[in-house]
Amino acid sequence: MSVKIALSTQLDSLGVSPNYRRALESLGCEVVDLPLVTMDNIDEILNVNDGFILTGGADINPLLYGEQNLYATKINEDRDNSDVVLAKALINSNKPLLAICRGMQLLNAVCGGTLYQDLSKQNPECKINHQQIDRAYEYVHKVNILPDTKLADICPSVINVNTIHHQAIKKLGNGLSVAAVSLDNIIEAVEMKDKKFVLGVQWHPERLTTYSEHNAILSMFVDECERQKA
């Protein structure tokens, strides 16, 4: 059964990544790029799509989590506003949601959490260089998968990931549970246990689909979209 997966708008200075579409189409999905989401079009968007990915991109505005901007860059308020409307609607609708990198950070902010605006400047315990953009398609560091999580159902207890972010979750948002942490205790994945499928990962599995555990993450998401569509 083919499902339709909607990608949140990638309207910011980092541009459109083809990797989400490539990875999902390889799993038999129809993939659509969403326009800016507003209260006027959100109901139709929810009705015609089976699952959603909050994509990666530039930093979100720290005002979304109650802080003044110290280190966030390349902010696009139109995209922020669109993603906030989408994320809130998805949480309320119980539609399958996979939030990747920026997407996970935005999900956390929508749930009342906060971010380190820059790990190297604000978290002295951070020992890993988490912003290795030149290695975006490679394994860079390990993360520990926590038990009794969706990731634990499909992944070993320790996996390798890529890492291209300089921000990360500081205070965890309401309703979110930690699903994975790096070796320097940065939150690397979250989930909402009271929802059918809300999962956030700080790395980019769509760039690592040649590795079984990352392809399994995308497949688990697609499988849930198929179950809810049936």
pLDDT digits (tens, 9 = 90+) for 187-226: 999 999 999 999 999 999 999 999 999 999 999 999 999 9
Angle (CA) 167-170-176 rounded to 5° is 110
Domain of residue 20, residue span: 4-229
Mind listing the pLDDT tens digit for each residue in 141-177? 999 999 999 999 999 999 999 999 999 999 999 999 9
Going by their DSSP bridges, the two strands 30-33 and 198-201 should be labelled as: unpaired
Candidate list 141, 165, 204, 214, residue with the active-site label:
204
- Range of weakest confidence among 14-23, 32-41, 62-71: 14-23
Residue 82 confidence (pLDDT) above 80: yes
Q: In the chain, pLDDT over 70 holds for what percent of residues?
A: 99
Confirm whether 204 is a catalytic residue. yes
pLDDT band at 230 (very low <50, low <70, confident <90, very high): confident
CB contact set of 136 (below 8 Å; sequence gap of 6+): 162, 164, 204, 207
Phi, psi torsion values for 153, nearest 5 degrees: -70, -25
Residue 13 confidence (pLDDT) above 70: no
Task: Give the pLDDT of residue 14.
Answer: 74
Secondary structure (3-state) at 99: strand
What percentage of the chain's residues is helix, strand, coil (to nearest 5)? Answer: 35, 20, 45
Contact call for residues 100 and 134 (beta carbons, < 8 A):
no
CA distance 175 to 164: 26
Lookup result for tokens 């129809």: 30
Task: Give the pLDDT of residue 1.
Answer: 64
Which two tokens mark 85?
A: 């409307």
Q: In the chain, pLDDT over 90 holds for what percent of residues?
A: 93
Candidate list 101, 126, 155, 225, residue with the active-site label:
101
Stronger pLDDT, 16 or 88, i.e. the higher one: 88
Share the mean pLDDT of the chain: 96
Work out the average pLDDT over 28-57: 97
**Residue of 209, 119, 212, 197 lying closest to 159 (CA atoms):** 212
Confirm whether 101 is a catalytic residue. yes
CA distance 215 to 219: 6
| pTM greater than 0.95 | yes
Candidate list 29, 130, 191, 206, residue with the active-site label:
206
**Residue of 36, 31, 28 lying closest to 20 (CA atoms):** 31
Work out the average pLDDT over 180-189: 97
Number of domains in the chain: 1
CA distance 108 to 71: 18
Q: What is the CATH number of the domain that holds 91?
A: 3.40.50.880
pLDDT band at 23 (very low <50, low <70, confident <90, very high): very high
